[in-house]
């Protein structure tokens, strides 16, 4: 029997993507789980696995096609044995019926990715099973651009949300946090129209900073070429524009004397290499920054403007910007405060390699509390990194160089590492930032500080 295979649910807030390559052809024998498509979504490029076993009788998509969740991609004549169940198409969003208000609050529902079309689930309907997907690239825009990310708290959280279950389900399906939606009905009751209007306003505010400004006719001055944005580039542009629009950016610069640390690094390089890692400045900075985040918890926080609250994270996950052929990716090293330097160096090397090879999973790009971006391997004396919103600070690292430094007995050649800390001035004062950055510098100069204070 020939079965139509539809594009399965790909994950939260993913509604479809562009086909990068088709990994099967007519006549191929499929096994459930084998990748059939490489699809570039606005979050990641993922390999879509087959959900059925059998023989491919038709390929319904080609590279460059835009495919939506639920759209047919293949036809397969099912194997008599061992065939897996077919993924159902994404259910259409039924027009919800109004019901009695008074359901408990639902918290922490992420907002939609910019550009999710209205009325379509932005991925992850409540009944859809999540499939394991292998991401082959992703952007920092894996985060929603405008994020009322914290749950309602205290008194607020105990108040019922005046919306019917169907309206709440609709909000959940399109990725809207119902607790943020202003209701226009009697006693503030939230209707389906309110959810749609709120979703539209989020998209507008997310897109606003990146909105098109009229350009001059460049061809008047000479020939030009145009190239369409990839999904990743579009999402990156939107995320950074939204971050730029939200965060009140200031950057502090400082320099750490890493002369002794550099000798220590070279002495210990072989040991870390034997464990499969590379003892680099970035790995060392992971360790030092994790300790600094414990000493200065405001840097390990987010701002919840909707509730006028600071959200302190009691975990330390640090993202590291990696330069890859598909663009900038920020994989996250988890629980950095609980790992030794050898483990961190191995993990960093492995994550960066997988990011470059396009093998990072979407969830590995989420959950960061703070970001390190090291351009020192390439060059530069300082820069002003953009805070990876909703984080509140990011550490930029430039190229270490040997310079004459005046010490007690005159000038000495010392290796100095330039550091640039950008932070959100809404939460962090300049003095806080200077102290944080100084602490990092002093810990690099005298690692015993980690024992004493870290």
List active site positions: 425
Interface with ligand CAO, residue 400, by CB under 6 A: yes
Token pair of 114, please?
């910019």
Question: Strand (E) positions, 54-113?
Answer: 54-59, 66-68, 72-78
Tell me: does residue 273 bind ligand CAO (CB under 6 A). no
Alpha-carbon distance 121 to 15, whole Å?
7
**By CB under 6 A, is residue 333 in contact with ligand CAO?**
no
Q: Are 320 and 286 in contact (CB under 8 A)?
A: yes
Residue sitting closest to ligand CAO (CB)? 376
Judged by CB under 6 A, which of 104, 377, 404, 430 binds ligand CAO? Answer: 377
When binding is defined by CB under 6 A, the residue of 55, 134, 399, 438 that contacts ligand CAO is 399
Binding piece for ligand CAO, criterion CB under 6 A, among 93-101, 231-239, 397-405, 419-427: 397-405
Q: How far apart are CA 187 and CA 203, in angstroms?
A: 26
Does an H or E element contain 452, and which? Answer: helix 448-453
| CB of 269 vs ligand CAO, minimal distance in Å | 7
71 vs 401, beta carbon nearer ligand CAO = 401
Q: Does 375 bind ligand CAO (CB under 6 A)?
A: yes
Phi, psi of 347 (to 5 degrees): -65, -40
For residue 210, state whether it binds ligand CAO (rule: CB under 6 A).
no
Q: Using the minimum distance from each CB to ligand CAO, give the nearer residue, 109 or 352.
A: 352
Neighbours of 204 (CB within 10 A): 12
Q: How far is the CB of 403 from ligand CAO (least distance, A)?
A: 13
172/239 with CB nearer ligand CAO: 239
Chain length of the chain? 454
**Of 145, 140, 149, residue with least CA distance to 332:** 140
Contact 114, 206 (CB under 8 A): yes
Pick the piece of the chain touching ligand CAO (CB under 6 A) from 51-59, 112-120, 294-302, 316-324: 316-324
User: In whole angstroms, what is the distance from residue 31 CA to residue 35 CA?
Assistant: 9
Tokens of 303: 């701002």
Comparing CB distances to ligand CAO, the nearer of 13 and 324 is 324
Residues that bind ligand CAO in the complex, under the rule CB under 6 A: 280-283, 320-323, 328, 348, 352, 373-377, 385, 397, 399-400, 417
């Amino acid at each position: 029997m020939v079965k139509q295979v539809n594009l399965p649910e790909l994950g939260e807030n993913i509604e479809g993507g562009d086909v990068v390559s088709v990994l099967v052809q007519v006549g191929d024998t499929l096994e459930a789980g084998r990748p059939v498509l490489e699809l570039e979504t606005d979050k990641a490029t993922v390999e879509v696995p087959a959900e059925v076993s059998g023989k491919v009788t038709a390929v319904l998509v080609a590279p460059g096609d835009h495919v939506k969740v639920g759209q047919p991609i293949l036809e397969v004549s099912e194997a008599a044995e061992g065939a897996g169940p077919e993924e159902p198409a994404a259910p259409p969003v039924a027009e919800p019926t109004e019901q009695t208000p008074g359901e408990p609050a639902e918290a922490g529902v992420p907002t939609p990715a910019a550009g999710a079309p209205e009325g379509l689930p932005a991925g992850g309907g409540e009944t859809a099973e999540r499939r394991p997907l292998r991401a082959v690239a992703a952007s920092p825009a894996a985060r929603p651009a405008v994020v009322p990310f914290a749950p309602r708290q205290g008194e607020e959280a105990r108040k019922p949300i005046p919306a019917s279950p169907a309206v709440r389900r609709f909000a959940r399906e399109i990725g809207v946090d119902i607790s943020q939606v202003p209701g226009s009905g009697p006693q503030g009751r939230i209707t389906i129209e309110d959810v749609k209007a709120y979703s539209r306003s989020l998209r507008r505010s997310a897109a606003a900073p990146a909105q098109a400004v009229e350009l001059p006719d460049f061809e008047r001055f000479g020939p030009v070429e145009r190239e369409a944005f990839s999904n990743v580039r579009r999402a990156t542009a939107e995320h950074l524009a939204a971050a730029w629009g939200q965060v009140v950016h200031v950057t502090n610069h400082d320099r750490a004397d890493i002369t002794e640390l550099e000798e220590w690094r070279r002495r210990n390089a072989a040991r870390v290499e034997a464990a499969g890692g590379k003892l680099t400045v970035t790995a060392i900075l992971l360790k030092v920054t994790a300790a600094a985040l414990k000493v200065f918890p405001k840097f390990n926080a987010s701002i919840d403007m909707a509730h006028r609250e600071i959200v302190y994270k009691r975990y330390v996950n640090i993202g590291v910007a990696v330069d890859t052929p598909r663009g900038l990716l920020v994989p996250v090293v988890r629980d950095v405060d609980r790992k030794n330097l050898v483990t961190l160096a191995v993990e960093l090397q492995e994550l960066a390699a997988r990011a470059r090879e396009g093998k990072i999973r979407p969830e590995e790009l989420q959950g960061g509390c703070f970001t390190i971006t090291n351009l020192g391997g390439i060059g530069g004396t300082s820069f002003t990194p953009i805070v990876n919103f909703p984080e509140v600070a990011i550490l930029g690292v430039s190229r270490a160089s040997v310079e004459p430094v005046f010490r007690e007995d005159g000038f000495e050649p010392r290796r100095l590492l330039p550091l640039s800390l950008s932070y959100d001035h809404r939460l962090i004062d300049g003095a806080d930032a200077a102290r944080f950055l100084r602490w990092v510098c002093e810990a690099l100069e005298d690692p015993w500080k980690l024992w004493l204070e870290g």
